[in-house]
Amino acid sequence: MNKIKKTLIIILVLLVLVVLGYCFLLNEKENDIKKIEVVDSISEFGYELHDNETALYKNTFEELKRVLNVKPVDYNKYGELISKLYVIDFYTLDNKVTNHDIGGTDFWHSGYVEMFRNKAKDTVYKYVKSNVYKDRNQDLPIVKDVELISSSTIKFDFDEVKDDKAMVVELKITYEKDLGYSKKAIITLVHDGKKLYIVEVE
Protein backbone atom coordinates (compact mmCIF):
# COMPACT_ATOMS: atom_id res chain seq x y z
CA MET A 1 0.00 0.00 0.00
CA ASN A 2 2.84 2.36 0.87
CA LYS A 3 4.48 1.67 -2.50
CA ILE A 4 1.25 2.55 -4.32
CA LYS A 5 0.93 5.82 -2.34
CA LYS A 6 4.57 6.71 -3.06
CA THR A 7 4.08 5.97 -6.75
CA LEU A 8 0.92 8.12 -6.88
CA ILE A 9 2.70 10.97 -5.08
CA ILE A 10 5.64 10.78 -7.51
CA ILE A 11 3.24 10.79 -10.49
CA LEU A 12 1.34 13.79 -9.07
CA VAL A 13 4.58 15.69 -8.43
CA LEU A 14 5.76 14.95 -11.99
CA LEU A 15 2.41 16.11 -13.42
CA VAL A 16 2.60 19.35 -11.42
CA LEU A 17 6.17 19.93 -12.65
CA VAL A 18 5.14 19.27 -16.27
CA VAL A 19 2.18 21.69 -15.99
CA LEU A 20 4.36 24.36 -14.35
CA GLY A 21 7.04 23.89 -17.01
CA TYR A 22 4.46 24.20 -19.80
CA CYS A 23 3.01 27.37 -18.24
CA PHE A 24 6.51 28.84 -17.95
CA LEU A 25 7.33 28.11 -21.61
CA LEU A 26 3.95 29.50 -22.71
CA ASN A 27 4.60 32.69 -20.77
CA GLU A 28 8.06 33.00 -22.36
CA LYS A 29 6.53 32.58 -25.81
CA GLU A 30 3.91 35.25 -25.09
CA ASN A 31 6.66 37.64 -23.99
CA ASP A 32 8.35 37.07 -27.37
CA ILE A 33 5.26 38.15 -29.34
CA LYS A 34 5.89 41.32 -31.31
CA LYS A 35 3.98 44.30 -29.96
CA ILE A 36 3.53 46.99 -32.62
CA GLU A 37 3.15 50.49 -31.22
CA VAL A 38 2.10 53.86 -32.67
CA VAL A 39 5.05 56.27 -32.54
CA ASP A 40 3.62 59.24 -34.46
CA SER A 41 0.40 60.37 -36.09
CA ILE A 42 -1.25 63.00 -38.28
CA SER A 43 -4.42 63.21 -36.21
CA GLU A 44 -6.29 65.64 -38.48
CA PHE A 45 -6.12 63.11 -41.32
CA GLY A 46 -6.15 59.90 -39.26
CA TYR A 47 -2.74 58.58 -40.33
CA GLU A 48 -0.54 56.65 -37.87
CA LEU A 49 3.13 55.67 -37.92
CA HIS A 50 4.05 52.33 -36.30
CA ASP A 51 7.41 51.38 -34.83
CA ASN A 52 7.92 48.40 -37.17
CA GLU A 53 8.00 50.51 -40.34
CA THR A 54 11.17 50.88 -42.42
CA ALA A 55 13.35 54.00 -42.44
CA LEU A 56 12.06 54.81 -45.94
CA TYR A 57 8.45 54.68 -44.75
CA LYS A 58 9.22 56.81 -41.67
CA ASN A 59 11.00 59.47 -43.77
CA THR A 60 8.13 59.57 -46.28
CA PHE A 61 5.62 59.84 -43.42
CA GLU A 62 7.55 62.82 -42.04
CA GLU A 63 7.43 64.44 -45.49
CA LEU A 64 3.67 63.85 -45.65
CA LYS A 65 3.29 65.39 -42.20
CA ARG A 66 5.08 68.57 -43.38
CA VAL A 67 2.93 68.79 -46.54
CA LEU A 68 -0.35 68.39 -44.61
CA ASN A 69 0.66 71.00 -42.05
CA VAL A 70 0.80 73.70 -44.76
CA LYS A 71 -2.49 75.34 -45.70
CA PRO A 72 -3.78 75.20 -48.35
CA VAL A 73 -2.68 71.57 -48.82
CA ASP A 74 -0.75 70.77 -52.01
CA TYR A 75 -2.96 67.87 -53.17
CA ASN A 76 -0.61 66.85 -55.95
CA LYS A 77 2.18 66.30 -53.43
CA TYR A 78 -0.26 64.75 -50.95
CA GLY A 79 -1.41 62.21 -53.55
CA GLU A 80 2.16 61.39 -54.52
CA LEU A 81 3.21 60.80 -50.92
CA ILE A 82 0.33 58.56 -49.84
CA SER A 83 0.84 56.57 -53.06
CA LYS A 84 4.48 56.09 -52.07
CA LEU A 85 3.53 55.18 -48.48
CA TYR A 86 1.04 52.65 -49.79
CA VAL A 87 3.61 51.01 -52.08
CA ILE A 88 6.30 50.92 -49.37
CA ASP A 89 3.93 49.41 -46.82
CA PHE A 90 2.21 46.97 -49.17
CA TYR A 91 5.31 45.53 -50.83
CA THR A 92 7.57 45.48 -47.76
CA LEU A 93 6.54 42.03 -46.52
CA ASP A 94 9.55 41.45 -44.27
CA ASN A 95 8.02 43.44 -41.38
CA LYS A 96 4.57 41.84 -41.57
CA VAL A 97 3.62 39.57 -38.65
CA THR A 98 1.21 37.30 -40.57
CA ASN A 99 -0.35 37.09 -44.03
CA HIS A 100 -3.41 38.89 -42.60
CA ASP A 101 -1.27 41.95 -41.79
CA ILE A 102 -1.95 43.67 -45.11
CA GLY A 103 0.09 46.82 -45.70
CA GLY A 104 -1.38 50.06 -47.05
CA THR A 105 -5.02 49.53 -46.03
CA ASP A 106 -5.11 52.92 -44.24
CA PHE A 107 -4.96 54.67 -47.61
CA TRP A 108 -7.84 52.83 -49.30
CA HIS A 109 -11.38 54.13 -49.74
CA SER A 110 -13.77 52.35 -47.35
CA GLY A 111 -15.87 51.10 -50.27
CA TYR A 112 -12.92 49.25 -51.80
CA VAL A 113 -10.74 48.23 -48.84
CA GLU A 114 -12.35 44.83 -48.17
CA MET A 115 -12.04 43.79 -51.82
CA PHE A 116 -8.41 44.95 -51.76
CA ARG A 117 -7.65 42.98 -48.56
CA ASN A 118 -9.16 39.77 -49.93
CA LYS A 119 -7.25 40.06 -53.19
CA ALA A 120 -3.99 40.75 -51.34
CA LYS A 121 -4.45 37.69 -49.09
CA ASP A 122 -4.98 35.51 -52.18
CA THR A 123 -2.01 36.91 -54.11
CA VAL A 124 0.96 38.90 -52.76
CA TYR A 125 0.42 37.91 -49.09
CA LYS A 126 -0.68 34.31 -49.68
CA TYR A 127 2.61 32.61 -48.78
CA VAL A 128 3.83 34.98 -46.04
CA LYS A 129 4.61 32.78 -43.02
CA SER A 130 3.68 33.80 -39.47
CA ASN A 131 6.29 35.70 -37.47
CA VAL A 132 4.27 36.04 -34.26
CA TYR A 133 7.13 34.55 -32.21
CA LYS A 134 9.93 36.15 -34.27
CA ASP A 135 11.07 32.77 -35.59
CA ARG A 136 10.23 33.13 -39.29
CA ASN A 137 12.85 31.91 -41.76
CA GLN A 138 11.67 33.31 -45.10
CA ASP A 139 13.15 35.65 -47.70
CA LEU A 140 10.66 38.50 -48.12
CA PRO A 141 10.86 41.82 -50.01
CA ILE A 142 11.83 45.19 -48.53
CA VAL A 143 11.15 48.30 -50.61
CA LYS A 144 14.35 50.32 -50.96
CA ASP A 145 13.07 53.28 -52.98
CA VAL A 146 9.97 54.59 -54.76
CA GLU A 147 10.25 57.13 -57.58
CA LEU A 148 7.52 59.21 -59.19
CA ILE A 149 7.22 58.52 -62.93
CA SER A 150 4.15 60.63 -63.65
CA SER A 151 1.04 62.20 -62.16
CA SER A 152 -2.14 63.24 -63.94
CA THR A 153 -5.79 64.15 -63.37
CA ILE A 154 -8.73 62.09 -64.64
CA LYS A 155 -12.50 61.84 -64.18
CA PHE A 156 -13.40 58.86 -61.98
CA ASP A 157 -16.95 57.50 -61.88
CA PHE A 158 -17.57 54.00 -60.55
CA ASP A 159 -20.40 52.76 -58.31
CA GLU A 160 -21.10 55.59 -55.88
CA VAL A 161 -17.62 57.13 -56.05
CA LYS A 162 -17.28 60.12 -58.37
CA ASP A 163 -14.47 62.64 -58.72
CA ASP A 164 -13.84 64.98 -61.64
CA LYS A 165 -10.32 65.66 -60.34
CA ALA A 166 -9.17 62.16 -59.41
CA MET A 167 -5.41 61.54 -59.55
CA VAL A 168 -3.42 58.84 -61.29
CA VAL A 169 0.09 58.38 -59.89
CA GLU A 170 2.63 56.10 -61.59
CA LEU A 171 5.57 54.90 -59.48
CA LYS A 172 8.77 52.92 -59.99
CA ILE A 173 9.61 50.47 -57.17
CA THR A 174 13.12 49.34 -56.21
CA TYR A 175 13.80 46.58 -53.66
CA GLU A 176 16.76 45.78 -51.43
CA LYS A 177 16.76 42.36 -53.09
CA ASP A 178 14.95 41.49 -56.32
CA LEU A 179 12.59 38.62 -55.48
CA GLY A 180 10.34 39.07 -58.50
CA TYR A 181 7.73 41.41 -57.06
CA SER A 182 6.10 44.30 -58.98
CA LYS A 183 8.49 47.06 -60.04
CA LYS A 184 5.79 49.53 -61.05
CA ALA A 185 2.44 50.68 -59.65
CA ILE A 186 -0.28 52.85 -61.17
CA ILE A 187 -2.51 54.22 -58.41
CA THR A 188 -5.84 56.04 -58.76
CA LEU A 189 -6.90 58.35 -55.90
CA VAL A 190 -10.10 60.28 -55.31
CA HIS A 191 -11.02 63.22 -53.08
CA ASP A 192 -13.43 62.62 -50.21
CA GLY A 193 -13.74 65.70 -48.04
CA LYS A 194 -10.23 66.91 -47.29
CA LYS A 195 -8.68 63.46 -47.69
CA LEU A 196 -7.43 61.48 -50.66
CA TYR A 197 -8.19 57.76 -50.91
CA ILE A 198 -6.93 54.98 -53.16
CA VAL A 199 -9.64 53.32 -55.26
CA GLU A 200 -7.58 51.37 -57.78
CA VAL A 201 -4.07 49.95 -58.22
CA GLU A 202 -2.58 48.40 -61.35
Q: What is the pTM of this model?
A: 0.83
Q: Is residue 16 in some structural domain?
A: no
Residue 21 domain-assigned (yes or no)? no
- 59 found inside a domain: yes
pLDDT at residue number 16: 67
User: Is the pLDDT at 5 greater than 70, yes or no?
Assistant: no
In which domain, by residue range, is 167 found? 38-201
Q: Which range among 11-25, 49-63, 95-109, 138-152 shows the weakest confidence by mean pLDDT?
A: 11-25
- Average pLDDT over every residue of 39-49: 95
pLDDT, one tens digit per residue, over 128-144 is 999 998 899 999 999 99
Which amino acid appears at position 4 of this protein? I
Q: How many domains does the chain have?
A: 1
pLDDT digits (tens, 9 = 90+) for 137-186: 999 999 999 999 999 999 999 988 999 999 999 999 999 999 999 999 99
CA–CA separation, 74 vs 158, rounded Å? 25
Dist CA 136 CA 127 (whole Å): 12
Tell me whether residue 10 is in a domain: no
* Predicted local confidence at residue 22, as pLDDT: 55
- pLDDT higher at 191 or 14: 191
CA atoms of 101 and 52, how far apart (whole Å): 12
- Model confidence at 28: pLDDT above 60: no
